Protein backbone atom coordinates (compact mmCIF):
# COMPACT_ATOMS: atom_id res chain seq x y z
CA UNK A 1 0.00 0.00 0.00
CA UNK A 2 1.39 3.40 -0.96
CA UNK A 3 1.03 6.61 1.00
CA UNK A 4 -1.46 7.64 -1.66
CA UNK A 5 -3.88 4.87 -0.73
CA UNK A 6 -6.03 3.90 2.19
CA UNK A 7 -7.56 0.45 1.95
CA UNK A 8 -10.38 -0.77 4.14
CA UNK A 9 -10.45 -4.56 3.97
CA UNK A 10 -13.54 -6.43 2.88
CA UNK A 11 -15.51 -8.44 5.40
CA UNK A 12 -18.53 -10.65 4.82
CA UNK A 13 -20.77 -7.61 5.48
CA UNK A 14 -18.70 -4.66 4.26
CA UNK A 15 -16.99 -3.94 0.94
CA UNK A 16 -13.33 -3.45 0.27
CA UNK A 17 -12.76 0.27 -0.06
CA UNK A 18 -9.81 1.77 -1.90
CA UNK A 19 -9.30 5.47 -1.35
CA UNK A 20 -6.52 6.71 -3.62
CA UNK A 21 -5.36 10.32 -3.71
CA UNK A 22 -4.64 9.86 -7.43
CA UNK A 23 -8.40 10.11 -7.92
CA UNK A 24 -9.97 6.73 -7.22
CA UNK A 25 -12.68 5.93 -4.71
CA UNK A 26 -13.64 2.27 -5.12
CA UNK A 27 -16.11 0.06 -3.24
CA UNK A 28 -16.26 -3.65 -4.04
CA UNK A 29 -18.29 -6.36 -2.31
CA UNK A 30 -21.38 -6.34 -0.10
CA UNK A 31 -22.74 -3.52 2.04
CA UNK A 32 -25.00 -5.16 4.58
CA UNK A 33 -23.54 -3.89 7.82
CA UNK A 34 -25.92 -3.23 10.67
CA UNK A 35 -23.54 -0.61 12.06
CA UNK A 36 -22.60 1.56 9.08
CA UNK A 37 -21.53 4.52 11.24
CA UNK A 38 -18.31 2.72 12.23
CA UNK A 39 -17.69 1.71 8.62
CA UNK A 40 -18.41 5.08 7.02
CA UNK A 41 -16.61 7.31 9.57
CA UNK A 42 -13.18 6.41 8.13
CA UNK A 43 -14.52 6.76 4.59
CA UNK A 44 -16.04 10.19 5.24
CA UNK A 45 -12.96 11.50 7.07
CA UNK A 46 -10.80 10.51 4.09
CA UNK A 47 -13.27 12.14 1.65
CA UNK A 48 -13.13 15.43 3.60
CA UNK A 49 -9.32 15.39 3.54
CA UNK A 50 -9.06 14.29 -0.10
CA UNK A 51 -11.30 17.03 -1.42
CA UNK A 52 -9.11 19.74 0.06
CA UNK A 53 -6.86 18.99 -2.92
CA UNK A 54 -8.55 16.49 -5.28
CA UNK A 55 -7.11 14.99 -8.46
CA UNK A 56 -8.10 16.54 -11.79
CA UNK A 57 -10.60 13.72 -12.27
CA UNK A 58 -12.02 11.64 -9.44
CA UNK A 59 -13.44 8.23 -10.34
CA UNK A 60 -16.02 6.81 -7.97
CA UNK A 61 -16.18 3.09 -8.74
CA UNK A 62 -19.11 1.28 -7.12
CA UNK A 63 -19.16 -2.47 -7.66
CA UNK A 64 -21.46 -3.87 -5.00
CA UNK A 65 -23.25 -7.23 -5.08
CA UNK A 66 -25.84 -6.20 -2.52
CA UNK A 67 -26.73 -3.20 -0.35
CA UNK A 68 -29.22 -3.40 2.53
CA UNK A 69 -31.48 -0.47 3.38
CA UNK A 70 -29.18 0.90 6.09
CA UNK A 71 -26.19 0.67 3.75
CA UNK A 72 -28.20 2.35 0.99
CA UNK A 73 -28.82 5.40 3.15
CA UNK A 74 -25.18 5.75 4.18
CA UNK A 75 -23.83 5.17 0.66
CA UNK A 76 -26.28 7.72 -0.73
CA UNK A 77 -25.17 10.22 1.94
CA UNK A 78 -21.50 9.56 1.12
CA UNK A 79 -22.00 10.06 -2.64
CA UNK A 80 -24.05 13.19 -1.88
CA UNK A 81 -21.16 14.52 0.21
CA UNK A 82 -18.69 13.75 -2.59
CA UNK A 83 -20.81 15.57 -5.17
CA UNK A 84 -21.36 18.63 -2.98
CA UNK A 85 -17.74 18.94 -1.95
CA UNK A 86 -16.73 18.45 -5.56
CA UNK A 87 -19.10 21.13 -6.82
CA UNK A 88 -17.10 23.67 -4.80
CA UNK A 89 -14.04 22.59 -6.81
CA UNK A 90 -15.67 23.35 -10.17
CA UNK A 91 -12.42 23.13 -12.11
CA UNK A 92 -12.18 19.43 -11.22
CA UNK A 93 -14.28 16.58 -12.61
CA UNK A 94 -15.74 13.43 -11.16
CA UNK A 95 -17.14 10.33 -12.81
CA UNK A 96 -19.33 7.76 -11.10
CA UNK A 97 -19.16 4.26 -12.53
CA UNK A 98 -21.86 1.90 -11.23
CA UNK A 99 -21.09 -1.76 -11.93
CA UNK A 100 -23.76 -4.45 -11.95
CA UNK A 101 -24.18 -8.00 -13.19
CA UNK A 102 -26.16 -8.32 -16.41
CA UNK A 103 -29.06 -10.16 -14.76
CA UNK A 104 -29.08 -8.02 -11.58
CA UNK A 105 -31.95 -5.61 -12.23
CA UNK A 106 -32.08 -4.64 -8.52
CA UNK A 107 -28.56 -3.21 -8.53
CA UNK A 108 -29.16 -1.40 -11.82
CA UNK A 109 -32.37 0.09 -10.39
CA UNK A 110 -30.53 1.13 -7.23
CA UNK A 111 -27.92 2.93 -9.34
CA UNK A 112 -30.53 4.74 -11.42
CA UNK A 113 -32.38 5.64 -8.21
CA UNK A 114 -29.19 7.14 -6.72
CA UNK A 115 -28.46 9.08 -9.91
CA UNK A 116 -31.98 10.50 -10.09
CA UNK A 117 -32.04 11.47 -6.40
CA UNK A 118 -28.65 13.17 -6.66
CA UNK A 119 -29.34 14.72 -10.07
CA UNK A 120 -26.00 13.55 -11.48
CA UNK A 121 -25.13 11.16 -14.31
CA UNK A 122 -23.79 7.70 -13.57
CA UNK A 123 -22.07 5.40 -16.05
CA UNK A 124 -23.63 1.93 -15.86
CA UNK A 125 -21.20 -0.87 -16.59
CA UNK A 126 -22.32 -4.48 -17.00
CA UNK A 127 -19.99 -7.09 -15.54
CA UNK A 128 -20.05 -10.85 -16.13
Where residue 113 falls (left for φ over 0; alpha for ψ -120 to 50; beta otherwise) is alpha
What pLDDT score was predicted for residue 44? 85
How far are the Cα atoms of 45, 66, 67, 79, 82 from residue 63, in angstroms, in the given order?
21, 9, 11, 14, 17
- Label residue 41 by pLDDT band (50, 70, 90): confident
Cα 80 to Cα 102: distance, rounded to the nearest angstrom:
26
| H helices present in 1-128, as ranges | 36-50, 69-87, 105-118
Burial 97-117 (b: 16+ CB within 10 A, else e): ebbbeeeeeebbebbeebbee
Whether 121 maps to a domain, the answer reads yes
* Reduced DSSP (H G I as helix, E B as strand, rest coil) percent helix, strand, coil of the chain, to 5: 40, 35, 30
Whether 97 maps to a domain, the answer reads yes
What is the number of structural domains in the chain? 1
Domain that holds residue 71: 58-128
Whether 47 maps to a domain, the answer reads no
Whether 35 maps to a domain, the answer reads no
pTM: 0.88
Whether 75 maps to a domain, the answer reads yes
What pLDDT score was predicted for residue 81? 83
Whether 34 maps to a domain, the answer reads no
| pLDDT (tens digit per residue) in 87-99 | 665 677 889 999 9
Whether 3 maps to a domain, the answer reads no
| pLDDT (tens digit per residue) in 9-35 | 999 999 999 999 999 999 999 999 878
Whether 6 maps to a domain, the answer reads no
What pLDDT score was predicted for residue 88? 62
Residue 111 and residue 99 in contact, taking contact as beta carbons nearer than 8 Å: no
| pLDDT (tens digit per residue) in 64-87 | 999 998 889 889 988 888 877 656
Amino acid sequence: MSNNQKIISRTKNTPEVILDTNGIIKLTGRLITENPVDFFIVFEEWIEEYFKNPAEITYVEINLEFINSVGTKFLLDAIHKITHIHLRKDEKKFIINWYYKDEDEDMLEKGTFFASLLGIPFNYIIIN
